[in-house]
Amino acid sequence: MSNPDCLFCKIIKKELPAEFVYEDEHIVAFKDINPIAPVHILIVPRKHMKDNNDFMEEDEHLAGRIFTLVRKLAEQEGIAEDGYRIFMNTGKHGKQIVPHMHLHLVGGRQL
């Protein structure tokens, strides 16, 4: 479930600090440490999956929860009406830096 060497697993377990904006039993969301826009939130499943290549049928419930959470966080952050971008970097060619699957929610300015 958790990887002791993983940065985001450590954040999820509160062994490292982060500015959390949401938490439940399956998913957490916290502010990106190096934001590219006024709103930049990372939505992260608690379960350690390296990237989307680890996402299996048993994980499908997470996808629905994540997209509902995107809507709620966009409303909470005041970016729902003007719009935003969601994206997930995957693997080497996707320029993924942190190998714990996560979705970026970015908005608050024209991208």
Catalytic residues: 102
48 forms part of the interface with Zn ion (CB under 5 A): yes
51 forms part of the interface with ligand AMP (CB under 6 A): no
Closer CB to ligand AMP, 10 or 65, in the complex: 10
- Alpha-carbon distances of 5 from 11, 16, 20, 50, 83, rounded to whole Å: 11, 12, 21, 12, 35
Shortest reach from residue 75's CB to ligand AMP, in Å = 22
100 forms part of the interface with Zn ion (CB under 5 A): yes
The rounded distance, in Å, linking the Cα atoms of 25 and 45 is: 9
